[in-house]
Amino acid sequence: MEIFTRTTKRYVPQQSNALAIDFRQGVVGLDWSADTPLNVGMNRCMNHLFFIVFFCVTGFGGVSVLGKATQSASFSLKVMSFNIRLGVANDGKNRWDLRKELVVETIREYNPDLLGLQEVFPMQEEYLQENFPEYSYYGRSRLVDPKEGEACSVMFRKDRFEPIEQETFWLSETPEEPGSKSWDSSLPRIANMISLQDKQAGGKKLVLINTHFDHRGKVAREEAAQIIRRRVTELKKGTPVVITGDFNSGEGSKPYQSLVGGNIIDTFRKVHPERTKEESTFTAWTGRLIGNRIDWVLCSSNFRVGSAEINRTNENGRYPSDHYPVTATLNYQ
């Protein structure tokens, strides 16, 4: 007959004592069937040994279940999007030199696996690379010279991700032309797209797109959203995608409608379905709460969203940037 023994959240079918006796005889080569005090005690010990070996060999049992749970938990992704405010701005008491340490502390406290940055100038890039040697860094300027001016850089953990390929495209009618701009855009605008192999998730491939839409051109923002949406559509079906950025557009805008929907999820709204007035992601250096949520973390629907927040870290009323960073924790499905 079969005996069912309860283990961690599952039942494991086992054979009767006859199998255990065969196991003992095969291992030790003795007759354990005699009903003597010594054999009774040894039988109990060997029964325990048999079950332990059975669980280890077959993969059943609490140890295996816990192992799978731990492995699954390691597949979660912590994502941050952070407009760090251009370092050349004349911001007085909020200038880069006086807040750069707080920027680093804010990033380090959240400890993201993937980080999309906006408004990154060369001296800011250098400072971040010095302070985060555990991250790989990819980014180029939106201008013709890749090392001059503002970039939309991405950072990712060296111990977790292996870069496969990366590219920068311009949010214009000629996306392959460096420094190009179209429509009513006030400045050249770009998106950086990088394909990564997630070593913690069995080599799974994902794509991260990081961008910064124009702050003045309404048509340019609408067209930029269409360009990124097309890029996502061109990817291999089922590819996990994460999109980060300062979109200079609120929820319900045409850029939002172009990007969100179908297989693309707004992580914040997924976790917080009730819209409120206090969702501003622009601090104005004052800790402002009421306003549009213009910084987003989006993801494809083959992720499960665990959490999503607007990070309002400050130091006695001093903010690391004129934008709040936004974060999301994602899990592969």
State residue 193's pLDDT score: 98
pLDDT at residue 29, as a whole number: 46
pLDDT at residue 8 above 90?
Answer: no
pLDDT band at 35 (very low <50, low <70, confident <90, very high): low
Specify whether the backbone of 262 is left (phi greater than 0), alpha (psi in -120 to 50) or beta: left
Which tops the pLDDT comparison, 223 or 69?
A: 223
What pLDDT was estimated at residue 185? 98
Q: Quick check: 297 and 269 in contact, CB under 8 A?
A: no
Q: What's the rounded mean pLDDT across residues 233-243?
A: 97
Q: Does residue 55 have a pLDDT over 90?
A: no
pLDDT confidence of residue 129: 98
User: Quick check: 21 pLDDT over 90?
Assistant: no
Question: What does the mean pLDDT of the chain come to?
Answer: 84
For 227, the 3-state DSSP assignment is: helix
Torsion of CA 287, 293, 294, 298, to 10 degrees: 130
303: three-class secondary structure by DSSP: strand
**3-class DSSP state for residue 126?**
helix
pLDDT digits over 162-198, tens only? 999 999 999 999 999 999 999 999 999 999 999 999 9
- H or E stretch at 163: strand 161-170
Tell me which amino acid residue 295 is: D
For residue 32, is pLDDT > 60? Answer: no
Q: How many residues does this entry show for the chain?
A: 333
Tokens (6 digits) for 45: 């010990």
Each residue's pLDDT tens digit, 283-328 = 999 999 999 999 999 999 999 999 999 999 999 999 999 999 999 9
pLDDT at 37: 52
Place of tokens 């939106």: 142
Report the alpha-carbon distance of residue 297 to residue 175 in Å, rounded: 23
113-166 tens-digit pLDDT? 999 999 999 999 999 999 999 999 999 999 999 999 999 999 999 999 999 999
> In this predicted structure, what is the pLDDT of residue 95?
98
Question: Which domains does the chain show, CATH number per domain?
Answer: 3-70 (no CATH), 76-332 (3.60.10.10)
Which tokens sit at 161? 């991700």
pLDDT for the residue 149: 95
pLDDT band at 57 (very low <50, low <70, confident <90, very high): very low
Question: When comparing pLDDT for 7 and 49, which is higher?
Answer: 49
Q: What is the pLDDT of residue 75?
A: 80
Q: In terms of C-beta density within 10 A (0-12 exposed, 13-18 middle, 19 or more buried), how is residue 151 classed?
A: buried
Coil, strand or helix at 6: strand
Asked if pLDDT for residue 12 goes beyond 70, the answer is no
